[in-house]
Amino acid sequence: MEQNIIISNLNDFIFCPRSIYFHKLYSSFDEALYHTTYQTKGRHAHKTVDKQKYSTKKAILEGINVYSEELGVSGKIDLFDVEKGILTERKNKIKKLYEGYYLQIYAQYFCLVEMGYVVKKIRFHSLSDNKIHDVALPGNNEKHRLKEIITKMKLFSLEDKNFTQNPNKCKMCIYKELCDYYKGDQTC
Ligand code: SF4
């Protein structure tokens, strides 16, 4: 795998390492062909960010590129209020805060800090129910975990003989019809 890890892939990798390959392979195809309704809604939630239309206030950075040399990651942040030091990652609907979500926002945080910004608060915004989920700022333990996952991402291969799929995840996976490990309604 390429050495520079894309921040948004952290969540995919935590869900299933193999999904990153399908994501890359099919990223040039029409997403509607394989995205579930839920994920399509999530994509729409980020459209304003991708097009940088959310706010005209100069104190709000929207969808800007960030990078951390120390971690070897790059990607985009969602919203960062420079004056208040608040980093916000919006999701269409948050039912549960998964580890992948945390790693994503931690990576964004470390990138901003390395780039010289003062980040005082990080949070998720669940759009459909308008709920804010505040997250404690990451420290050394969280950075260590992030580095551990990034190293695993760099080392992972589709030929990895130690890989075992999680049947419950396979059933929810948008790439299941493309993946050799999915066995239909039977357990994978
Ligand atoms: S079908 Fe299962 S093994 Fe294949 S990418 Fe999806 S979650 Fe991973």
Q: For the chain, give every domain's residue range.
A: 5-178
Say how far apart CA 138 and CA 161 lie, in whole Å: 33
Least reliable range by pLDDT among 10-24, 58-72, 142-156:
10-24
Q: Which atom of ligand 1 is found nearest the CA of 18?
A: 5
Q: Which atom of ligand 1 is found nearest the CA of 176?
A: 1
> What average pLDDT does the structure give for the chain?
84
Tokens of 179: 């993946």
Give the distance from CA 59 to its chain's centroid. Answer: 24
Statement: residue 44 has pLDDT above 90: no
Residue 103 confidence (pLDDT) = 98
Q: Which CATH architecture has domain 5-178?
A: Alpha-Beta Complex (3.90)
Residue 38 confidence (pLDDT) = 47
Residue 55 confidence (pLDDT) = 56
Say how far apart CA 156 and CA 99 lie, in whole Å: 19
**Phi, psi (deg, nearest 5) at residue 180:** -65, -25
Q: Which atom of ligand 1 is found nearest the CA of 180?
A: 4
The gap between the terminal CA atoms of the chain, to the nearest Å, is 25
Distance 169 CA to ligand 1 centre (A): 7
Distance 4 CA to ligand 1 centre (A): 23
Residue 129 confidence (pLDDT) = 96
Name the band, by pLDDT with cuts 50, 70 and 90, for residue 26.
low
Tokens of 171: 């059933």
Name the band, by pLDDT with cuts 50, 70 and 90, for residue 186.
low
- Rounded mean pLDDT, 45-64: 67
- Rounded mean pLDDT, 166-177: 88
Best residue among 156, 170, 171, 178 to mutate for probing ligand 1's pocket (most ligand atoms within 8 Å of CB) is 170
Query: Percentage of residues in the chain with pLDDT exceeding 90?
Result: 56
Say how far apart CA 39 and CA 25 lie, in whole Å: 18
- Cβ of 9 closer than 6 Å to ligand 1, yes or no, is no
Residue 160 confidence (pLDDT) = 82
Statement: residue 27 has pLDDT above 90: no
